[in-house]
Chain A
Amino acid sequence: MSRRRERAVLALLLAPVTLYLGVFFLVPLATIVVFSFLTPGLYGGVEWSFYHWNYGRIFGWADGITEVFEPVYLRILGRSLGFAALTVAICLVLCYPVAFWVSRLPERWRALFLFLVTLPFFSSLIVRLYAWLLILRPSGLLGEGLMALGLRSTPLELLYTPVAVVLGMVYVMIPFMFLPLFAAIDTLDRAQVEAALDLGATRTQAFLKVVLPQTLPGIAGGAVIVFIPSVGNFIVPDILGGARGLMVGNLVEQQFLAARNWPFGSALSVIIMTVVLTVLLVFVARLRARGA
C-alpha cells in the first residue's frame, strides 16, 4: 500500500475522534477555565471581563470589598481530599485480602467470585446508594435492628454524617479497587514467596519484602482509579451526606443550579481538575520511571 494511501486511511479513521473530542471535550474543558476568570453577573449571567476574585474567595486574597474570603471553601476542599484518601485506604484494606483469597480459589469458583465483584458495576449507582439510605436512616434497618437487639436505646444517627459519606463511597468504589489489585496479585510469582519462607523469612517479612513490592503497581492503579471519582463526587454526599458531609462537588452543583454563580462554580471545578491532573501526571511519571 502506498504511503499516501495509508495516510489517507489513517486520517479517515482518526477524523471522527479528533473532531468529536476536540469540540465536545476539549472545548468545554477550556470553557470552564475561561469562565473561572469571568465576572459573575448580577442576575446569574456572566460579564466578559477579567476577574480573579473567584479564586481569591477560595484561597484568601479577596479584598473584603469586591469579594470576601471565606475559609469554609478551603475547609470543604480539604475535607473532599480527606474523604477521597480515606475511601482509597478503606477500599484497599477491604479488597486486598479478598483479592488474594479469590486468586487462590479453584478455577470455577474464581470465575464466580470475580463475576460477583463486577456485577455491582453493572447495577445502578443510584440504586446502590438508595440501599444505604434505607439502611442508615434513623428508622432504617441498622438503627431499628440495633434497638431491637437492645444494643442501642436511641435512634441511630449515622445518616448525614461524614461516616455515611465515606461508607457510601467505599461501597460504590469497591469494584474499581478490586480489579487492578486482583490483576496484580494473580500474576504474583508464588515461587518467590515460597523461597522467602523456606529461607526463614517470617510471614510478615515475606509479605513486606516480596508480596507488597510485586503488587505495588496494582495498589497504585486501584488507588488512582478510586481517588479521582471520589474527590469530585457529589451524588454520594448529596444522598447520604447532609451539611457535615458536604464536598466540593456539592458546592459546584449549588453554584450552577441554585446560586447561579457560574464563574465561581467554574473556579471550583478548575481546582478539582487540577487535583485530578496532578494525581494522574504523578502516577504516569512513576509508572514510566518503574518501566525504564
Chain B
Amino acid sequence: MRNPAGWLLLTALSLLFFAFIYAPLLVIVGYSFNANPVNMMVWDGFTLDWYRGLFGLRDRTGDALSRAAYVESTDQLLAALRNSLIVAACTTAISTVIGTATAIALARHRFRLRRLYEGLMLMPMMMPDIVLGIGLLIFFVSLGMQLSLLTIIIGHCTFLTSYVFIVVQARIAGIDPALEEAAADLGASEWVTLRKVLLPQLAPGILGGALLAFVISMDDLVITYFIAGTGSTTLPVFIFGMIRRGVKPEINAIATLIILASVLIAALGLWLRSRRIDR
C-alpha cells in the first residue's frame, strides 16, 4: 500500500466492520447474565438464574422455576434439542453417502449427462428455503404422510446432499487420478481402488462435508418450520416460537449456549482443516 494514511483509515473501517458482526452476539451474552428480570437494559448484578431456570434448577430465592416459567417446561426445550440432534445425525449420514457417491461419479467418469447433474446438484442450494419447504409440505401432505422427524430428515437431505457434494468435489479435484489408475493397472478391482486408494485421500473432504451438513441441519429453520409436525419441533423452530411470543431473559441464556456451541464447532472445523494442510 502506497498511502499509509489510507491504510490506517481502511484498517479502522475494517475493525468497525468486525465490531458490527460481533457486537450483537456479545449483547446477548451480556444480557444473559443480567439479574434484572423486569428491564434487560438495566444492569442489576450478575446472575446465573436464567441458566438455572433452563435446567430446571431453583433460583436463589428458592422460587422454583417461577422466572423460568416462560420456558413452558425444560422438557420441551430438551425434547427440541434431542429432535435436532437426531435429525442432524441421520441427515449427516445419508447426505454424506449420497453426496460423496455423486462427487466421485462426476469427477471420475465421463458421461453425456454430466453437465446436467452438475446443474441439478446446485439447484437445491440455490432454491429459496421457503419454496423447498412448501414444496415438501404439499408433497408429504398429498401422499398422506404424517409430518414427523422422518419428514424433516427427508427434507434436510434434499439440500444437504448438495453441500456435501460441493465440499467433496473441491477435495477430489486436487487428487491425482494417476494413483487410482496405477491401482487399477496392478489388478485392483474398482471397489478395492475406491476403498484403498481414493477414499483415504478423500477422507478429510468427506469429514468436512459431514461437519458442514451437521451444522446446517442443526440450524435449519425455514424448511423445518414447514415440515415439522406438532411432536417433532426442532431447536431453531422452538426458539423461533419463543421469540415470536416476546423477548424474555431465558432466551438470552439459550442463545448464549448456542453461540458457545457454534464457536466450538467452528473451532473444530478449523482444527480439522489445519490438520489437513499439515499432512
Contact = CB atoms under 8 A, between A and B. Distances in A.
A133 B247 contact: yes
A266 B134 contact: yes
Interface stretch (B6-14, B52-60, B64-72): B6-14
Interface stretch (A25-33, A61-69, A213-221): A25-33
Contacts of B28: 127, 130-131, 134
B247 A119 contact: no
Interface string B1-37: 1100000001101100110111011011001000000
Which of A104, A123, A125, A269 has the most chain B CB atoms inside 10 A of its CB?
Answer: A123
Contact of A252 (B24, B104, B130): B130
A16 interface: yes
A232 B219 contact: no
A: contact size bracket: 35 or more
B154 interface: yes
Contacts of B18: 98, 113, 116
B128 A231 contact: yes
Contacts of A257: 226
Majority DSSP secondary structure for residues of B touching A = helix
Interface residues of B, number: 76
A273 interface: yes
A13 interface: yes
Interface of B: 1-2, 10-11, 13-14, 17-18, 20-22, 24-25, 27-28, 31, 39-41, 97-99, 101-102, 104-105, 109, 111, 117, 120-121, 123-124, 126-132, 134-139, 142, 154-155, 157-158, 161, 184, 190, 215, 219, 221-222, 226, 236, 239-240, 243-244, 247, 251-252, 255, 258-259, 262-263, 265-266, 269-270
Given A126-B243, A249-B130, A131 B226 contact: no
Given A100-B10, A134-B28, A120 B243 contact: no
